[in-house]
Amino acid sequence: MERDQLAIDRLSRIWAMIEYIAENPGTSRRTLAAKYSLSERQVQEDLRVVREELRFPLVRRKGYRFSAGDDRVVLDFTFSEARALIAALRGASLDRGCSVEPLRSLVSKLPNVFPLHLQPLMRKCLESLGNSEPALEDRVFLALTEALFERRPVRLHLDSRGVGPLQDPVVEPQLLMPYLGSWYMVGHCRQKKRVMMFKVDTIEAVTLASKM
């Protein structure tokens, strides 16, 4: 298997592990090893990446869990509910009759009421709120987020850094994740017939593709 594919598979697994720990606080290393068919040493290395490279506040306290302040309220939102809330706030931000400062204050606080593994995605989605002309990367990111929510394939129009031998790949998005200061989209590429990873800032445009 190619080294790139191994890296993609590992990052996808690590993100699945993050979601599992967020939904099941107190998970043991043995449980994670059994769930992902790993040795406990491999699990430990993946958890190191979660703490040190992805910078999630992972602690070992009666199993593994994410540390959150006792004064924070975390609501159990689904992706669909998050999407509806973003759409509502986006509409409010474009309403000239809406006061701007309370909206900005709400936007800054809002990601903290989502489960921890959804907070980076929420922050990124809310960055361009209130901008009548979102930047190119913001438009691309929002299009990818919509495709992920709707489980719709997309055609990616890549710049010179992301093209390589592959022209306008059609991808079924599976994951949007931050890693070492950049955002990546992981999805199944129809042309290559395998899961691939694309750096979001190498994508110039996104168009919907046929589901078939």
Neighbours of 73 (CB within 10 A): 7
Which residue ranges form the domains of the chain, and what is each CATH number? Answer: 3-66 (1.10.10.10), 79-126 (no CATH), 136-208 (2.30.30)
Whether the CB-CB separation of 29 and 21 falls below 8 Å is answered with: no
At residue 88's C-alpha, the angle toward residues 150 and 209, to 5°, is: 25
Q: How far apart (Å, rounded) are the C-alpha atoms in residues 3 and 37?
A: 20
Sequential pLDDT tens for the chain (212 residues):
455 667 788 888 998 898 899 889 899 999 999 999 999 999 999 999 998 888 888 899 889 998 865 445 555 666 667 767 777 777 776 676 666 677 677 777 777 777 777 778 778 877 766 565 667 777 888 888 888 878 889 999 988 765 566 788 999 988 888 887 888 888 899 988 888 888 888 999 998 887 65
pLDDT of residue 11: 84
